[in-house]
Amino acid sequence: VRHLGSRLLIAIPGIALAVAVVWAGGVALAALLVVIAVLGLVELHSLTAAARPIRWAGDLCVVLWVVLPLFGSSPSRQLLLGAVACILVSAVGGLTARRREDVTLRVSVTVFGGLYLGLPLAMLMALREGPNGAAAVANVLVGTWAFDTFAYLGGRVWGRTPIAPRTSPNKTVEGAVIGLVGAVACVVLAGLYMDWISLVESIVLAIAICIAAFAGDLFESMLKRDAQVKDSGRILLGHGGILDRFDALLFSAPVAYLVTSWLVG
């Protein structure tokens, strides 16, 4: 295992920070999510630099979206306000751009970046602001990162059958199955100690999180492959960039938000 030392050097304080900030919630969590969103967008805008995203508009979209659930009585309405802001701010970005060549593409990649990073991180914020918020967010993180870890380790030991050779040649069916089983076990364990969700519900939630996490991971691999880079960035020593670390969460968080809101009501 390459870079194991530096990987742990980042992972352990990273997990501690995540636990503390998810526990604290509120402005502390919003601040961390804003940092992740903006740094992730820097990486995405560099992957899509050829299409010249409108950087200020993208930044404003994701920051607004993440911060909005802190205000107002209805988190879901705040999330919708963020979605409307994403298209309107990007449109104003296009209308006020000095260079108008290919402005439709510029607006499109700006909207895409806003939705890809802003919506999931805003949904994590909204989930934390809801009832049992800390437990609900912890569940998403546990499920996503357990899937990631078990799939990676399981794949290294028993992996034989490529599952998506074109996009991510190292991923295997065996790894994905072990990841799913491991993540379900972790989420069930976490869920059993928190009396807001039943055993069956926590299994449904964990399976949904795993499928989304898997798709999120593949999708980010596709973006990198398209841009012909190996890592989205180098900000997290040995863990690549922000997008490399949060790719699965960008799809699992919105799915978990929806499933949780159906389960809890």
Binding site for a second copy (CB under 8 A): 47-48, 51, 74, 76-77, 79-81, 83-84, 86-88, 91-92, 94-95, 100-105, 107-109, 111-112, 115-116, 119, 123, 164, 166-167, 212, 215, 218-219, 222-223, 225-227, 251, 254-255, 257-258, 261
CB of 87 to a second copy, least distance (A): 5
Contacts (Cβ under 8 Å, ≥6 apart) of 259: 204, 205, 208
Q: Which is nearer to a second copy, 2 or 104 (CB)?
A: 104
Bridge partners (DSSP) listed for residue 172:
162
CB of 147 to a second copy, least distance (A): 17
Helix or strand run (H / E) with residue 189 = helix 173-192
CB of 21 to a second copy, least distance (A): 24
Q: Which is nearer to a second copy, 149 or 261 (CB)?
A: 261
Q: Which is nearer to a second copy, 12 or 226 (CB)?
A: 226
Q: Which is nearer to a second copy, 44 or 146 (CB)?
A: 44
CB of 79 to a second copy, least distance (A): 6
- Alpha carbon distance 44, 53 (integer Å): 9
CB of 51 to a second copy, least distance (A): 6
Q: Which is nearer to a second copy, 184 or 223 (CB)?
A: 223
